[in-house]
Every structure is written in structure tokens, then in C-alpha cells.
Amino acid sequence: MDEDMDPRIGNRSLSRVVYRADQIQTRVGELAAEIHQGLPEEDPLLLVGLLKGSFIFLADLVRSIPRPLEVDFLRVASYGTGRESSGTVELVHDVEASLNGRSVVIVEDIIDSGTTLQWLLPRLRARGPKRLEVCALLHKDRVTLDPPARWVGFHAPNEFLVGYGLDHAEAFRHLPYIGALES
């Protein structure tokens, strides 16, 4: 490993670092600029983070977007403690802010199976946002969304990734980089 933090938690460890902390920070800054330039500045902007995985990415992204905006959160469950989506999505915490007439950006840590966003986006569109876009830090190319995520940080390998907010059974979120969990 070329990062400083210990990549072992209990009997689980990482096989490799996939994205270094400096690579992530550079790309977050680029995504912030793309969002700022890609949405009309006169539109009220709301970023909605999907908890828990997106919270670190969302915090860094919000601090890098040079315009007024609001933040809210959604929490859905589809993984539990496994490495694959259960296929069933449950809304645990809903957005409190009104989406009506706003530019809304859903901020996701990783688009893996696509199940969560395919379930969520139609429900949010029904609330009348002027625009509804997705910004994902990571996207596994095996999944196609309709419409696709507008902003993607990195195209992710087909491995179980942790760190920078992503977890396995709540572990590894604290890492400042993203690594692949050993099989």
C-alpha cells in the first residue's frame, strides 16, 4: 500500500489502493467546477447526498462549488452487511427540502448495481424539480442508467471498494483513499 493508514480492520484487509487521496481531491475539484458550469447560476441549487457512503464526498464537493447551494440527505438501504445489493430498496430517511422548481443534484458514492438510483429517480422526479442530475464519485461500467449519471468521478473496477466514505459492514469509511477489499 502506498497510503499511510493501516488497511486492515479485524480479519479484513485491502488488496490494493485503487484511487489515492490526492487523485480523489483533484477529481472532486474538477467535478465541482463541472457542476458549477453545467447548471444555470440563477437556478436554486440543492445537493442531496445519499447516506451514508456519500457524506465525505458531498462535504468536499460542497466546499468546492463556488456558488450558493443547499444540502439535504436521503438514506436508503439495499446492502446490509453483504457485498452485493439485496435488490430491495428501502427508504430510511427522506429529503426534507422541497425539490419543486430547483436544480437538484443527487450525490452518490458509487453506482454499483444501479438498483438504488433506478428506484429513487422516478420518485424524486415526481416532486417537480426543474432539473434532476446525478453526480457519482465512482461508476461501475457494468450498469447503465437511463438517463446516465451526468457527472462521474472515476470509472471503477469491478471490485468491492472501500474508503473515502465507502464501507463494508460500516468499516473502512475513514480511509482518505479508496481501496479494493480482499476477496
Distance between CA 133 and CA 147 in Å, rounded? Answer: 9
With H, G, I as helix, E, B as strand and everything else as coil, classify residue 119: helix
Among the options 22, 112, 146, 167, which is catalytic? 112
Do residues 56 and 113 make contact, with C-beta atoms less than 8 angstroms apart?
no
Q: Tell me if residue 60 is catalytic.
A: no
Residues tagged active-site? 112
